[in-house]
Amino acid sequence: MEAPAAAHNQAESPLSSPAPQSSGHSFELVVDSPDEMRDLGLRLAKLLRAGDLVMLTGELGAGKTTLTRGLGEGLGVRGAVTSPTFVIARVHPSLGDGPPLVHVDAYRLGGGLDDMEDLDLDVSLPESVIVVEWGEGKVEELTDDRLHLLIHRAVGDTTDEVRHVTLTGVGERWAAVDLSLI
């Protein structure tokens, strides 16, 4: 079961990583299984609306696509949400009156928004929820408002399913959102 992560000393933690943006507010939690990661996506989808940018950062196998699968289910979009690694981006239209989900994998793209220009994310953003895996340093210029999820997992030869997730809301859109309610 998910639980808020215990406070830890950033200087001593093997999970240390710079905060996505110092201007945001953060909440940490622990996810114990892929099913719980999907469930986190389901709960997070309830907070999302058209115009939201969600950035996912984490090692290979951290659960970024699993979380996005839960987002897609929670948003009620069409099509199976799978990793868009080879097509770079997939659009999942809404099956109802909600926004479509644009799922981007920026892993194979170079740096900066210029390299992503052909995807027209700036055009899609106002009417869609855009989720970008590996987007750090590449899509921040799209909007001043974004939700950044940093997913840490044990690396190496391990069967450990535990993930430490830090959610950071950046900008006015996320200032009043209580991320601990997720």
pLDDT tens digits along 118-130? 555 665 768 999 9
Compute the residue count for the chain.
182
d(CA 53, CA 39) in angstroms, rounded, equals 19
Q: How much is the pLDDT for 7?
A: 37
Q: 42-78: buried (b, 16+ CB within 10 Å) or exposed (e) per residue?
A: bebbebbeeebbbbbbbeeebbbbbbbbbbbebbebe
- State the pLDDT at residue 106: 80
Examine the pLDDT at 140 and tell me if it is beyond 60: yes
User: What are the φ/ψ torsions at residue 180 (nearest 5 degrees)?
Assistant: -70, -15
The model's confidence at residue 35, banded by pLDDT at 50, 70 and 90, is very high
How high does pLDDT run on average in the chain?
A: 81
Q: Which residue has the tokens 């740096």?
A: 111
Asked if the model's pLDDT at residue 88 lies above 60, the reply is yes
69 membership: H or E segment, kind and range: helix 64-75
Q: What is the rounded CA–CA span in Å between residue 66 and residue 13?
A: 25
Q: Where are the beta strands (DSSP E) in the chain?
A: 3-4, 25-31, 53-58, 89-92, 101-105, 129-133, 146-153, 163-170
